[in-house]
Structures are given as C-alpha cells and as structure tokens.
C-alpha cells in the first residue's frame, strides 16, 4: 500500500469514526430522552383517564363498571377486579406478570417496554380515605401502548446522523489528499534528486524548505552528495596527477627503448627477445598514460575542441588508410557528409571503433557514413559474437573488460570511454547495440554545427 493511500485511509478512518461516535452519542441520548418522554406521557394519560372516571364507578364494581372503565382507558386494555375481567384488543397477547408483580408490590404505576415495541402499563386503583390514607382497591388496569411512532422517530434520527457522518467521508478524503500531497511532495523531490545522483549526476541537489524531518533528510542527502562529489574530484585529481608524473620518466624510458630497438639486431637471441618485450610494454604503458591524461582532461573539463569544415567520408577514408585497414574494412558512403568537427578527435573515435571491430569481432567489418536531417551518422558493424544484453550497459565503462581472464589485450581499457567523451564534446553521442550477429556502434554528430 502506498504511503499516500495509507495516509488517506488513516485520516478518513479517524474522521469518520469520530463523526460516527459523535452521531452515535447524540442519537443515543436523544432516543433515551424521546423514549422517556413518550412513556411518561402514555402512563400519565392512562392514569388521568382512570382518575377521570373512577368517582363515577360503582364500588365494589360489577361487570358493567369494569366495561365502562375499560372503554374509558381505550384500546388494548384489561381491567380486573377479583374474579371479574374486562379486556379488548391485543392485551391478552402480552406477558403481564412482571408489571403485575411490581404494581402489587409498590402500589404505584408500573411500566415496561417489550418487543414490538410496546409499552405495558399497569395501574393499581387505590381507595383514598377522606383523611388521605390510601389502600389498594383490588381494581387493576393494564394497558398496552404502541411505541412504534417513537421507534420510527428514533430511526429517522439515526438515519440523519448516519448521513451526516457519511458526509464527513468525502470531505475528510479531500483534506487527507491535500495533507498527503504536502507530505509527499518533498519526498518526491528527494526521490528525483536521489535518482539523478544514482545516475551519476553528483551536482543534483534538493532545495530544503521548511523545518521538519523531511528538511533534515534533504540537508543530509545534499551533504552526502557533496561528500561524494569531493571524493570523486579527489580521485580524479589523483589519477591526473599520477598520469602527469608518469609522463616524464616514460619519455626518458621511451628514448632508451628507441636506442635499444635500434641495436636489438646485434644482441643475443635471448636478450633480443627480452628487449623486444620491453619495447612492447613501454609502448603499451605510454599509450595507457596518454589515455589516462586524456580522460583526466575530460573529467577536468579542459579538453578543447578545434573544429574545421570536414567531409566525414574523407576523414574516415584517411583514418583507415593511415592504419592500413583499407583492405579489411568495407566503407559504405554514398555521398559526402560535410560538417564542422575536430578531425583529430573523430579520427580517435573511428580508429577505436574499427580497431575494436577488427580485434574482437569478425569480418566483414563495415563502416557506413550517412546523414539524416539533423545528424551525421558513422556506423561501425562487424559479424562477430555481438553484444549480449548483460554486456551492453558496461561497454563504455572505464577499464571494463568483457573477459576478466583476458587481461593482456593491447588496449588500455579506456578506448570506448574516450571515444564517447569525444562524441559528447561534439554535442553528439556514441551508442552501442547488438545487431543480431555482430556489434554495432553508432556515432551521431549534430549537423547544425554553426549554431554551436
């Protein structure tokens, strides 16, 4: 369940329960008051009816007197005196034992609510002496009175209350949505920032607002991003410094190796082999350091772009010819594609892509130069094993090698990374894809170079 749903549910539940409890309390007290008033009124009415006719009754009463009294009290009435009874209506369907016991015990009016709902009223008629002393006369009146109207009135009250409580539901839902929104908006902003950080953009920050716990969290995440940025910058500066420091001794070493190469022919076969190995390794080391220096420039943002009007087809052809690959690579270029570009950097890209294709893929290696409305495209494909999905995300990573066991390849492990940095420096991009039976690398450069 999402946080928003949880917040809204809790809010709505609390509100509706509160409204329901309030409604229930008011309905309960109102219904109690209604019932009490109704039963007092009904009991008093029966007593008043008896009192009104009692002085006119013969006493001790005969059957006729009982019938008169019963008629005066109304429907659903039972009058008893000794063995005589007079009754009508539904009074004989009720159990009067409880009421009878109470009124004989207290000589006062007794009432009882029973299912129906009905009110059973028991009235003992007493004889009062002229001096005010009261004795039971033996005359007893029972009456049943319908409480249905009161019941319906209470039902109406309850319905109204339930409706009022239900009205609180949409209102509280709206309020809850607003409250949840105000809580979740900063959370969403934080999530976006965290995603940018995860994607490598360490400059991503969230502006902290307010003074709550989420603001604390925002500040903490900003500090974390700052720390990461510092660490990354430190690491890059260290790499740059190391590369620069290595350059000078390497230059010396290269010079020495050059001398060694010139005299290698005069050496013993064993020594010549060792010398040859040293020459190769120094060459690799030099390339690695040059690549590292180049990467440092990109990281530091100091790589400069020297653009000139270039025909990409010519450029690719020159690149292939300079490396002696013309025979091995098929160039497909129907027409010249002219744009402004840094020839040296494009040469690095194409050389890297084609070199990789020749080294890791299988022929035929094709280079296609084409143009769309907005972009110039240079596409390098081979017929090798291709790029499986688990490899694709990593091909541009620094020092990433597909097969960890194959560590002694001639490349520095930085080639594709540098190629993509070069493409991006042009405002373009370099993408890799599996062509289904080979790998395909596509370099796209924007054509509207004048605007840049």
| Footprint of other proteins (CB under 8 A) | 9, 13, 16-17, 20-21, 23-24, 27-28, 31, 35, 39-40, 43-44, 47-48, 50-51, 53-61, 98-99, 101-103, 106-115, 117, 123-132, 134, 137, 139, 141, 147, 150-151, 154-155, 157-158, 161-162, 165
Straight-line distance from the first to the last Cα atom of the chain, in angstroms, rounded to the nearest whole number: 49
Q: Left, alpha or beta for 413 (phi > 0: left; psi -120 to 50: alpha)?
A: left
Sign of the alpha-carbon dihedral angle for 230, 231, 233, 238: positive
Under 8 Å between Cβ of 445 and 339: yes
Q: Which is nearer to other proteins, 117 or 411 (CB)?
A: 117
The helix/strand/coil state of 212 is coil
CB of 430 to other proteins, least distance (A): 55
CB of 138 to other proteins, least distance (A): 9
Under 8 Å between Cβ of 379 and 367: yes
CB of 115 to other proteins, least distance (A): 6
In this structure, what DSSP letter does residue 390 have?
T
CB of 63 to other proteins, least distance (A): 15
Q: Which is nearer to other proteins, 123 or 144 (CB)?
A: 123
User: Cα 228–230–231 angle (5° rounding)?
Assistant: 65
CB of 445 to other proteins, least distance (A): 60
Q: Which is nearer to other proteins, 132 or 436 (CB)?
A: 132
Within 13 Å of residue 90, how many CA atoms lie on the same side as its CB? 8
Q: Which is nearer to other proteins, 60 or 334 (CB)?
A: 60
CB of 132 to other proteins, least distance (A): 5
Write down the H helix ranges in 204-301.
213-263, 269-300
Chain centroid, CA 437 distance in Å: 40
Q: Which is nearer to other proteins, 131 or 270 (CB)?
A: 131
Under 8 Å between Cβ of 364 and 383: yes
Q: Which is nearer to other proteins, 58 or 407 (CB)?
A: 58
Q: Which of 115, 118, 37 is nearest to 77 (CA)?
A: 118
CB of 90 to other proteins, least distance (A): 17
CB of 1 to other proteins, least distance (A): 11
Q: Which is nearer to other proteins, 60 or 410 (CB)?
A: 60
Under 8 Å between Cβ of 450 and 340: yes
User: Cα 34–37–39 angle (5° rounding)?
Assistant: 105
Phi, psi of 374 (to 5 degrees): -110, -15
Q: Which is nearer to other proteins, 133 or 335 (CB)?
A: 133
* Pairing assessment for the beta strands 429-434 and 365-371 based on DSSP bridges: unpaired
């Amino acid at each position: 369940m999402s946080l928003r749903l949880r917040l809204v549910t809790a809010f709505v539940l609390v509100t509706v329960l509160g409204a329901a409890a309030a409604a229930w309390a008011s309905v309960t007290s109102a219904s109690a008051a209604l019932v009490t008033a109704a039963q007092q009124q009904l009991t008093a009415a029966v007593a008043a009816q008896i009192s009104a006719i009692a002085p006119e009754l013969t006493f001790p009463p005969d059957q006729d007197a009982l019938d008169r009294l019963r008629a005066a009290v109304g429907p659903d009435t039972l009058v008893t005196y000794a063995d005589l009874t007079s009754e009508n209506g539904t009074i004989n369907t009720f159990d009067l034992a409880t009421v009878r016991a109470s009124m004989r015990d207290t000589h006062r009016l007794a009432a009882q609510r029973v299912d129906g709902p009905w009110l059973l009223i028991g009235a003992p008629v007493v004889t009062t002496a002229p001096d005010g002393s009261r004795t039971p006369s033996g005359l007893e009146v029972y009456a049943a009175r319908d409480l249905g109207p009161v019941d319906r009135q209470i039902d109406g009250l309850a319905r109204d209350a339930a409706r009022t409580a239900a009205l609180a539901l949409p209102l509280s839902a709206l309020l809850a949505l607003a409250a949840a929104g105000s809580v979740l908006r900063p959370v969403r902003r934080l999530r976006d920032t965290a995603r940018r950080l995860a994607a490598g953009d360490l400059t991503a920050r969230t502006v902290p607002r307010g003074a709550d716990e989420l603001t604390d969290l925002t500040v903490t995440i900003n500090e974390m991003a700052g720390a990461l940025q510092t660490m990354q910058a430190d690491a890059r500066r260290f790499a740059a410094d190391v590369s620069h420091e290595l350059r000078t001794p390497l230059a010396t070493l290269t010079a020495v190796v050059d001398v060694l190469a010139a005299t290698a022919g005069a050496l013993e076969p064993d020594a010549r082999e060792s010398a040859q190995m040293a020459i190769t390794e120094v060459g690799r080391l030099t390339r690695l350091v040059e690549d590292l220096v180049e990467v440092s420039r990109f990281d530091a943002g100091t790589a400069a772009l020297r653009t000139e009007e270039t025909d990409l087809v010519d450029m690719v052809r020159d690149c292939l010819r300079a490396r002696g690959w013309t025979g091995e690579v098929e160039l497909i270029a129907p027409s010249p594609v002219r744009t402004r570009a840094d020839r040296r950097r494009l040469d690095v890209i194409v050389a890297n892509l084609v070199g990789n294709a020749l080294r890791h893929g299988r022929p035929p290696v094709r280079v296609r130069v084409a143009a769309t409305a907005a972009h110039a495209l240079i596409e390098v494909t081979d017929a090798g094993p291709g790029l499986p999905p688990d490899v694709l995300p990593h091909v541009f990573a620094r020092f990433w090698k597909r097969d960890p066991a194959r560590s002694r390849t001639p490349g520095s492990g930085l080639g594709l990374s540098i190629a993509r940095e070069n493409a991006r420096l042009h405002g373009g991009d370099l993408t890799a894809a599996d062509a289904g039976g080979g790998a395909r690398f596509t370099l796209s450069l924007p054509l509207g170079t004048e605007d840049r």
